Amino acid sequence: MKVVIFSTCVVDMLFPNVAKAMVEVLERFGCETYMPMKQICCAQPTFNSGYVKESRHTMHNEIDALMGVDADYIVGPAGSCVNMLKELPFHLKDEPDYQAKAKQMADKTYEFSQFVYRVLGIKNAGAELDAVGTYHRSCHMTRLLGERTSPFVLLDNVKDLKMEPLPHIENCCGFGGMFSMKEPEISKQMVNEKVDDVLSTGASVLISCDPACLMNIGGRLNRRGEKITIMHLAEVLNHNVDMSRVTFVDSKEGALV
């Protein structure tokens, strides 16, 4: 199975360890991974800032880069960015050639946890993490991409990881891409509330499937002097792996898409 890695800007610049963990997990389960060097950005930041026409060149570049490999799937570590790829056919509806390529791309693109659980059919990735964790559910992955199940199933099956529910899990962390720059005071209040909720769980590890959220919450935790580790789900699933613990989804559970 050939898989193209959609690395995303934030992971490429700030969390290369997340991309490494994602690749190692996928290759452990038989995927042949490719990382197109031409990829830069999905165009979400400029598009959401109102630069619609100016974003098209970036959209074209990302499509050409990710579709430049004849792969079965495209997998990314951020629900927000993956959702942007899913929306490109609509944004390019007046460009038939690129819209067709964007549609082909969108149909085989998955967020990391989705791919592991829903495509590979893995329930227990064999990981172990002796810690108390809590999970931040990002807005875009939940409300736009519509994924509410995969991360929780995978985390529930990590050996020795005790998960504590995060109060007000539905609330945004305050990042929201350009929102945090345009409304810094509101953003600051939102992330402070999120940090308070994280601290209330007593967790030693904050886990998420969106690196941008981890960057925002982790930055605020650091400024407040709180010693909580932040981890992407891929890093958790790549921790102390014992393949003898791996289990797969029973088809009766209906996880596969």
pLDDT digits (tens, 9 = 90+) for 17-57: 999 999 999 999 999 999 999 999 999 989 988 999 999 99
Clarify whether residues 73 and 139 are in a common domain: no
Give the number of domains in the chain. 2
Q: What is the DSSP letter of 252?
A: G
CATH code at position 183: 3.40.50.11810
pTM score: 0.94
Which are the contacts of 98, defined by CB distance < 8 A and separation ≥ 6? 59, 60, 63, 92
**Given pLDDT bands bounded at 50, 70 and 90, which one contains residue 183?**
confident
Annotate 209-236 with b (16+ C-beta within 10 A) or e (fewer): bbbbbbbbbbebbeeeeeebebbbbbbb
- Which parts of the chain fold into alpha helices (H)? 9-14, 16-28, 44-48, 56-66, 79-91, 96-107, 112-114, 139, 150-156, 179-182, 184-200, 211-223, 233-237
At residue 255, the pLDDT reads 56
CATH code at position 70: 3.40.50
**Given pLDDT bands bounded at 50, 70 and 90, which one contains residue 184?**
confident
Which residues constitute the domain of residue 83?
2-117
CB 77 within 8 A of CB 11: yes
Domain final residue, candidates 77, 101, 117: 117
Reading the block at residue 89, the tokens are 């056919």
Could you tell me which of 138, 174, 172, 178 has the C-alpha nearest to residue 46? 178
Clarify whether residues 160 and 141 are in a common domain: yes
Domain final residue, candidates 98, 117, 136: 117
Q: What is the mean pLDDT of residues 111-115?
A: 98
* Residue 242 forms part of a structural domain: no
At residue 112, the pLDDT reads 98
* Residue 248 forms part of a structural domain: no
**Given pLDDT bands bounded at 50, 70 and 90, which one contains residue 12?**
very high
* Residue 160 forms part of a structural domain: yes
